[in-house]
Structure 1
Amino acid sequence: MFKILCIFCVPASSMDVISALYGETIEVPCNNGAAMSEDPQLVKWKYDEDDGTPGAILTKGRDPEEVKIQATNSYKDRASITGDASLLIANATLDDEKTFTCMVVTSADIKEYPVNVEVHKRPLPPQIKDQATELENGKLTALGECIAQDAHPPAEVIWSKNGVQLADDGKTIIIETVDTEDPATGLSSTSSKLQYAAVKADVDSEFTCTVKHRLGPDQTSEPQTFSIHYPTERVELEVVSKGPIKEGDNVTLKCNADGNPPPTSFNFLLKDQKETVVDSDTYTLLGVTRDSTGEYKCSLGDDDNLQDAKNISVSFLDVSLDPSGMIVRTVGGSLPVMVQKNSSGEVKVSWTKDNGKLDKQPKFDNLKYSDTGLYVCQFSMAGIKQSRSFQLTVQGQPTIKSITKILSNDGQHKVLTCEAEGSPKPSVQWSINGTNEQSSYIDGKLTHKITVVPTLNQTVTCTASNELGVAIKDITLTSLNWENNDNREGDDGDDQAKLIVGIVIGLILAAAVVGLVYWVYMKKSKQGSWKTGEKESGDLRGE
Structure 2
Amino acid sequence: MSSLLCALAVFAAAMFTAVSGKQVVTGMYGDTITVPCNNGNNKPSDLIFTKWKYLNEDNTSGDLLVKQAQKEEAKIIATNGYKDRISITPNSSLLIRDAALLDEKIFICIVVSLVNLNEYPVEVAVYKRPSAPEIKNKASQLENGKLTLLGECVSADANPPSEIVWLKNNKPLLTDNRTIIINSSIKKDPSTSLSTSISRLQYMAGKEDTTSKFTCVARHVTGPDQHTAPENFSIHYPTEKMSLQFLSLVPIKEGDNVTLRCQADGNPPPTRFNFDLKGEKHTESGRDMMLAAVNRNHSGEYKCSLASNDKMVATATLNVTYLDLSLSPTGDVNKNVGESLEVKMKKSSSSEPTVSWTKDNEKLDKLPDFSTLTYSHAGFYVCQVSVLGIKRSASFRLVVQGSPVIKSLKKHRSANGKNKVLVCEAEGSPEPDVHWSVNGTHDEKTYKDGKAIYKLTVVPSMNLTVTCQVSNTLGYDSRVINVSSLIDEEQKAKPDKSEDSDDKAKVIVAVVVGLLVVAALVGIIYWLYMRRRQGSWKTGEKEAGTSEESKKLEENNHRT
Q: Do both share a fold (TM > 0.5)?
A: yes
Deviations 1:412-468 (A, max 9, x none): 333333333333233333333334443333333333334333323222333333323
Segment drifting more, 183-192 vs 78-87: 78-87
Name the residue aligned to 1:115. 122
Instruction: Tell me which of 350, 364, 382 is aligned to 1:376.
Output: 382
Name the residue aligned to 1:392. 398
Q: Distance in 1 between matches of 2:402 and 2:108?
A: 131
Instruction: Tell me which of 56, 60, 64 is aligned to 2:64.
Output: 56
Q: Distance in 1 between matches of 2:49 and 2:431?
A: 130
Q: CA RMSD in A?
A: 3.4
Instruction: Tell me which of 417, 425, 430 is aligned to 1:419.
Output: 425
Name the residue aligned to 1:443. 449
1:359 deviates by 1.6
Change in CA separation of 1:128 and 1:436 when aligned onto 2, cut-off 3 Å = farther
Is the Cα contact below 8 Å between 1:237 and 1:309 reproduced in 2?
A: yes
Is the Cα contact below 8 Å between 1:101 and 1:115 reproduced in 2?
A: yes
Change in CA separation of 1:37 and 1:415 when aligned onto 2, cut-off 3 Å = farther
Q: Distance in 1 between matches of 2:211 and 2:50?
A: 64
Q: Distance in 2 between matches of 1:478 and 1:71?
A: 156
| AA matched with 1:254 | R
Q: What's the secondary structure of 1:303's corresponding residue? A: coil
Aligned 1:338-357 pairs, distance under 5 A: 338-357=344-363
Change in CA separation of 1:481 and 1:215 when aligned onto 2, cut-off 3 Å = same
Name the residue aligned to 1:495. none
Q: What's the secondary structure of 1:327's corresponding residue? A: strand
Is the Cα contact below 8 Å between 2:63 and 2:77 reproduced in 1?
A: yes
Is the Cα contact below 8 Å between 1:57 and 1:75 reproduced in 2?
A: no
Change in CA separation of 1:104 and 1:269 when aligned onto 2, cut-off 3 Å = same
Change in CA separation of 1:449 and 1:387 when aligned onto 2, cut-off 3 Å = same
Q: Distance in 2 between matches of 1:419 and 1:460?
A: 15
Please state if 1:180 is matched with 2:181. Answer: no
Change in CA separation of 1:54 and 1:272 when aligned onto 2, cut-off 3 Å = closer
Q: What's the secondary structure of 2:341's corresponding residue? A: coil
Change in CA separation of 1:142 and 1:345 when aligned onto 2, cut-off 3 Å = same
Segment drifting more, 205-214 vs 147-156: 205-214
Q: Distance in 2 between matches of 1:88 and 1:433?
A: 134
Is the Cα contact below 8 Å between 1:12 and 1:111 reproduced in 2?
A: no
Instruction: Tell me which of 287, 291, 299 is aligned to 1:285.
Output: 291
Name the residue aligned to 1:128. 135
| AA matched with 1:414 | K
Is the Cα contact below 8 Å between 1:148 and 1:155 reproduced in 2?
A: yes
| AA matched with 2:481 | I
Q: Distance in 1 between matches of 2:485 and 2:51?
A: 146
Deviations 1:54-107 (A, max 9, x none): 4234638589xx343636566565555556554444443223323334445677
Q: Distance in 1 between matches of 2:447 and 2:51?
A: 123
Aligned 1:88-237 pairs, distance under 5 A: 88-104=95-111, 110-169=117-176, 172-237=179-244
TM-score by length of 1: 0.77
| AA matched with 1:448 | Y
Q: Distance in 2 between matches of 1:428 and 1:59?
A: 142
1:47 deviates by 3.6
Name the residue aligned to 1:363. 369
Q: Distance in 2 between matches of 1:261 and 1:18?
A: 57
| AA matched with 2:107 | F
Q: What's the secondary structure of 1:56's corresponding residue? A: strand
Segment drifting more, 134-143 vs 320-329: 134-143
Q: Distance in 2 between matches of 1:354 and 1:106?
A: 126
Q: What's the secondary structure of 1:398's corresponding residue? A: strand
Instruction: Tell me which of 319, 322, 327 is aligned to 1:321.
Output: 327
Deviations 1:325-358 (A, max 9, x none): 2222223332222333333432222222233222
Instruction: Tell me which of 240, 247, 259 is aligned to 1:252.
Output: 259
Name the residue aligned to 2:472. 466
Change in CA separation of 1:399 and 1:112 when aligned onto 2, cut-off 3 Å = farther
| AA matched with 1:330 | N
Task: Name stretches of at least 5 consecutive residues in structure 1 with no aligned partner.
Answer: 489-543
Aligned 1:393-542 pairs, distance under 5 A: 393-487=399-493
1:152 deviates by 0.9
Q: Distance in 2 between matches of 1:305 and 1:12?
A: 83
Q: Distance in 2 between matches of 1:70 and 1:248?
A: 99
Q: Distance in 1 between matches of 2:115 and 2:424?
A: 145
Is the Cα contact below 8 Å between 1:351 and 1:376 reproduced in 2?
A: yes
Change in CA separation of 1:480 and 1:145 when aligned onto 2, cut-off 3 Å = same
Change in CA separation of 1:286 and 1:104 when aligned onto 2, cut-off 3 Å = same
Deviations 1:20-78 (A, max 9, x none): 22233433344346x67967857736241435324234638589xx3436365665655
Is the Cα contact below 8 Å between 1:351 and 1:358 reproduced in 2?
A: yes
Is the Cα contact below 8 Å between 2:242 and 2:265 reproduced in 1?
A: yes
Q: Distance in 1 between matches of 2:407 and 2:47?
A: 142
Q: Distance in 1 between matches of 2:68 and 2:443?
A: 130
Please state if 1:337 is matched with 2:334. Answer: no
Q: What's the secondary structure of 1:210's corresponding residue? A: strand
Deviations 1:362-388 (A, max 9, x none): 322333333222222222234433222
1:162 deviates by 2.9
Q: Distance in 2 between matches of 1:259 and 1:303?
A: 12
Q: Distance in 2 between matches of 1:124 and 1:384?
A: 68
Segment drifting more, 14-23 vs 413-422: 413-422
| AA matched with 2:167 | S
Deviations 1:256-292 (A, max 9, x none): 2222223332222223322222x11222334444443
Instruction: Tell me which of 216, 240, 250 is aligned to 1:243.
Output: 250
Q: What's the secondary structure of 1:481's corresponding residue? A: helix
1:155 deviates by 0.9
